[in-house]
Amino acid sequence: MEQTTSNKRRIIWLWVLSIVLWLAIAPLRGYYDLQWTAIIHSIVFALLTWWAMKRYAPTKGFWRTLLPLVAPWLIELPFHFLSDAMWTLPVTVMPLWAVITVALFYRYRKIWLLLLCSALWLLGVTEGYCQWVEWCNHGDNPTLTVNLADCEVTDSTHTLKLSEIDAGYLVIDVWYSQCGACRKKMPEVEALRNEYKDDKDVEVISLFATLIEGETIDDGISLMQSMGCDVPVYAIDKDSPILKECNIDAYPRVLILDKERTVIFNGSLEFAKRKLKKAVPL
């Protein structure tokens, strides 16, 4: 009887430890990049899993030890499918995969199994994560069907059509003043412009969406200067056909237009860089 009570206490202790540890690490999502958060979660829970398996599995059994370790994800996963936060799913899945990897290696002691699962985990927190976020945020955006040649933008002196901007490929970073993520990405936009500054076939511009009443092109230029960036600034208002035709309702958004000013890319800066390198190799 005493042994049974002791085993039950250990099981409850492991359940509590897993959930408390998960709750302690969860706030990191607000301070670090989600990829790094997934990596930190994975490492911490992989170590916990190995410790728990060595300490409890011989007496409580493999499955009775594993179940408390995956308890946080049994609670969290349903919320992803019931909410609009599917793009954060890898942050949940990859630590869970790390737990399962360590548990399977403990049970079967097969190096090939550890290497295979670890390789899949590494792929998941790097390229897999990027692809998933791109698909969730921009997967249904138009790419090859929209022509913006006649759409007008405003610079510091006058209004012009996109077809009047002299460049083969036109890379447009669309942003607005209250977007913190837009400001964070702006140095990367400038770095991309500098990367292609000697290539007359590529022009990188900043398109300031004046979504706040009373804003003008001058506000966009001032904000750009305050960030220490030198990307050419153009402005559009909230009724611009560029926003409507390209279904832009989240920022920042990067467009790539070809010579005819047809949209050939509509998505994130990271994937815009990939598209541009394929179209215009340095």
pLDDT digits (tens, 9 = 90+) for 225-241: 998 898 999 999 999 99
The model's confidence at residue 6, banded by pLDDT at 50, 70 and 90, is low
Digit-coded pLDDT (tens) for 125-137? 888 887 887 777 6
The model's confidence at residue 175, banded by pLDDT at 50, 70 and 90, is very high
pLDDT of residue 79: 77
pLDDT of residue 3: 53
Are 242 and 248 in contact, with CB atoms under 8 Å apart? yes
Provide φ and ψ at 197, rounded to 5°.
-65, -25
Q: What is the set of domains in the chain, with CATH numbers? A: 2-138 (no CATH), 152-279 (3.40.30.10)
**Residue of 154, 56, 36 lying closest to 103 (CA atoms):** 56
Q: Which residues pair with 170 in a beta bridge?
A: 203, 257
3-class DSSP state for residue 22? helix
Is the pLDDT score of 158 beyond 80?
A: yes
Digit-coded pLDDT (tens) for 207-220? 999 999 999 999 99
Q: Which residues pair with 169 in a beta bridge?
A: 202
Look up residue 262 and give its DSSP letter: B
> Positive or negative, the Cα torsion across 190, 194, 195, 196?
positive
pLDDT of residue 88: 76
Least confident of 22-31, 51-60, 229-238, 267-276: 22-31
Q: Which residues pair with 236 in a beta bridge?
A: 209
Q: Give the number of C-alpha atoms closer than 13 A to the C-alpha of residue 161, restricted to the C-beta side.
A: 9
Q: Which residues pair with 253 in a beta bridge?
A: 174
Percent of the chain with pLDDT over 70: 90
Percent of the chain with pLDDT over 90: 48
pLDDT of residue 11: 78
Are 178 and 172 in contact, with CB atoms under 8 Å apart? no
Question: What are the distances in angstroms from CA 31 to CA 10, 28, 98?
Answer: 33, 5, 22
Query: Pick the residue with more confidence: 277 or 173?
Result: 173
pTM over 0.75: no
Is the pLDDT score of 93 beyond 80?
A: yes
Is the pLDDT score of 31 beyond 70?
A: no
